[in-house]
Amino acid sequence: MTAKTEQREIKIQVPVLARVEGEGALDLAIHDGRIADLRLRIYEPPRLFEQFLVGRDHGEIPDLVARICGICPVAYQMSGVHAVERLFRCEPNAWVYRLRRLLYCGEWIQSHALHIHLLAAPDFLGFENALAMAARHGAALRRGLHLQGLGNRIIGLIGARSVHPVGVRVGGFWKAPDPSQAAALRWEIERALPAAEALLAWTAALPLPDDEQPFVCVALHDPHAYPMIADRIRSDGGLDISVDEFESHFEERQVPHSTALQGLHRGLPYLVGPLARINLNADLLHPRVLKALAGTGIRFPSRNMYHSVVARAAELLQALLEAAEILADYAPSDPAYTEVSPRAGTGIGASEAPRGLLWHRYDLDHQGRIGHARIVPPTSQNQARIEEDLRHALTRAGLDQNPDTLRQIGEKVIRNYDPCISCATHFLRLNLSRG
């Protein structure tokens, strides 16, 4: 074998603390100065959670699907109850709708605060992890933890606990929050608004790479509010469909190198998540958020994937503002739910998890028991887009870089999407071959 055609493989094992949940590796083959093969390989065993739901009663869906993800249980609950209520023709009242958005605000706040401060910021500031970053950016980390705590408290107020909440039921909630607790939390949220505005400015001032690239954005659309739970899906490629039509326009494919499915729209990768949401729905943001965004000098729609961290900060401020407004005129409802009458058929619902569009489908019998379930999480929808972004970023950085540098670039790209690999099925082992 000649020197030119000889290949050598370098394997790098990243420490256990890799700042991404799940197990995966990046296989990268570089031949003649070009990427010959790139695979984001997710080898975490499939959880088969959908099969666990088969045979269960529709009323068990909120508590069961909340266990799928410890960071975004609310999104799984909301997509699930929305699907069932649409099938049962149950229209929750305005009180339930507002409290659900409040619950959703709590999830966005805690998830975005965690990602910005503990996962993304160390990458952009050149630190191995948040602990290493604390010595020079302690105040920023304390701010992030405080905001995350507020999000958890909102979830706990309505869901009885902040992790895997149990307060949600089909038709509404099991119990209305106590008014005195709601008032106290509103006061804390209003005090935190300047910190959230400062956070937005701080993320925009991070040394974010100037890296524009083409991609298709997909998100829910609600003409009356920034999208959290909605019945329509839009893209910046002209798509405007009901959530019922999802399977006609999007597909999941199994690739040999991954236990996670990859989502495609019209045969191509697409983006879901905070950047996609803001690119498609910026006109629905709170005026105070729009003013703060204008002050950053970053314009949306943006084609720079690294502006995702700024989009997360903007959504965190949006969620705090909406939470404060909902709590300002809060009054308990008794009962806190509407009774439902089961009927056979297919129920479809969708909501916007912190990481993007989360779609649920349930086939129920006349007693409301589940015969089939399908859940399409945002991370699997972003998998093909992540691979596309990795090709772009690694080529742009220079493929002659040493393996450790290539690994760091790959990790930064992947963490920027805030993936939840277990939900789609820890990063990163880089298997590199050059020839």
Q: How do the pLDDT tens digits run along the chain, 435 residues long?
A: 333 333 444 333 332 224 455 567 788 888 888 888 888 877 666 667 888 899 999 999 999 999 887 778 999 999 999 999 999 999 999 999 999 999 999 999 999 999 999 889 999 999 988 899 999 999 999 999 999 999 999 999 999 888 889 999 999 999 999 999 999 999 999 999 999 999 999 999 999 999 899 999 999 999 999 999 999 999 999 999 999 999 999 998 888 777 777 899 999 999 999 999 999 999 999 999 999 999 999 999 999 999 999 999 999 999 999 999 999 999 999 899 999 999 999 999 999 999 999 999 999 999 999 999 999 999 889 999 999 999 999 999 888 888 888 888 888 898 898 877 555 443 445 566 665
Q: Rounded to whole angstroms, how far apart are CA atoms 37 and 229?
A: 38
Predicted confidence at residue 253, as pLDDT, reads 86
What are the respective helix, strand and coil percentages of the chain, to the nearest 5? 50, 20, 30
Predicted confidence at residue 427, as pLDDT, reads 41
Q: Rounded to whole angstroms, how far apart are CA atoms 63 and 165?
A: 8
Q: Rounded to whole angstroms, how far apart are CA atoms 236 and 215?
A: 9
Q: Rounded to whole angstroms, how far apart are CA atoms 285 and 386?
A: 27
Q: Rounded to whole angstroms, how far apart are CA atoms 131 and 118?
A: 9
For residue 183, the SS3 value is helix
E strands of 317-355, at which residues?
345-353
Q: Rounded to whole angstroms, how far apart are CA atoms 4 and 7?
A: 8
In this structure, the chain runs to a length of 435
Q: Domain 49-381 is of which CATH architecture?
A: Orthogonal Bundle (1.10)
The strand pairing partners of 2, in sequence order, are none
Residue reference for tokens 């990163």: 428
Residue reference for tokens 């992947």: 414
Predicted confidence at residue 431, as pLDDT, reads 61
**Alpha carbon separation from 127 to 23, 122, 297, 419 (Å, rounded):** 22, 5, 26, 20
The strand pairing partners of 21, in sequence order, are 420
Q: What is the DSSP letter of 334?
A: S
| Domain assignments of the chain as residue spans, ordered by start | 49-381
Predicted confidence at residue 5, as pLDDT, reads 36
Predicted confidence at residue 19, as pLDDT, reads 46
E strands of 222-313, at which residues?
232-235, 240-242, 250-253, 262-265
CB burial of residue 315 (10 Å; 0-12, 13-18, 19+): buried
**Alpha carbon separation from 434 to 11, 14, 30, 128, 172 (Å, rounded):** 12, 20, 5, 27, 57
Do residues 240 and 158 touch, judged by C-beta distance below 8 A?
no
